Amino acid sequence: MQNFQVVDISAWQEKLNWQKLKANNIQGVIIKIGEYTHLDEMFISHVNNAVTYNLPYGIYYYAHASTIDKAIAEANWVDKQIKTYLNGQNPSLGIWYDAEDKSILKNNINVAYMIGNFINQLNELDYNYVGLYSSYNWLTNIIDLNLLADYIPIWSAQYYHENSFKLEYPNRICKIWQYTDHKQIDDMILDCNIYYA
């Protein structure tokens, strides 16, 4: 199987033309499930459309936890939503912890502890594909990767002509590269990613 293109979507993308996504060789979507304890307003609609158009999907959760306990609570909230809306199924393109908000940093605990505990909690609940989304800057300057197990898949955001993280950390599983937040597909402007097969 070859690498393929996926877009990540949320309530900001209210009027997606799913047929045009498929016609432009988008082969998967990663859907925001929510943040804090708020389900993303478009989550159910986006999941239903992904299923209707036979596109594999993953989900991401926008993190705010500044303590380990809060990160575990975030994981439990995600688990509850998956059991409620997805019948407890593992999304085939993974569950991603989106660590980019400065609110995570307010207690001077390295964000890797929150990430690790969120991922471990979901792994213990039998979700077998849980990873970390963050910017190249955070991955290399803010998150202490030495505190995270090397089996954790990484989704790196870097709007550049190459995926520096994948090149510089060959021992890490870099599964997705978000290479632009400005991909024009017909009249839609979207975040676009390479998903490594």
Instruction: List for the chain the helix, strand, coil content (%; round to 5).
Output: 35, 30, 35
- Predicted pLDDT of residue 88: 85
User: CB–CB of 118/63 below 8 Å?
Assistant: yes
Average pLDDT over every residue of 137-159: 97
Where does the pLDDT of residue 55 fall: very low under 50, low under 70, confident under 90, or very high at 90 and above? very high
Which two structure tokens, joined as six digits, stand for 196?
A: 């490594």
Full residue range of the structural domain in which residue 112 is found: 4-195
User: CB–CB of 43/31 below 8 Å?
Assistant: yes
Average pLDDT over every residue of 102-106: 95
Average pLDDT over every residue of 53-77: 98
Question: Is residue 126's pLDDT more than 90?
Answer: yes
Question: Is residue 136's pLDDT more than 70?
Answer: yes
Average pLDDT over every residue of 28-53: 97
Q: Give the CATH number, domain containing residue 156.
A: 3.20.20.80
- Predicted pLDDT of residue 102: 96
| pLDDT tens-digit series, residues 159-180 | 999 999 999 999 999 999 999 9
Q: What is the pTM of this model?
A: 0.97
**Number of domains present in the structure of the chain:** 1
User: CB–CB of 173/152 below 8 Å?
Assistant: yes
Rounded to an integer, what distance in angstroms lies between the CA atom of residue 182 and that of residue 188? Answer: 9
- Predicted pLDDT of residue 1: 67
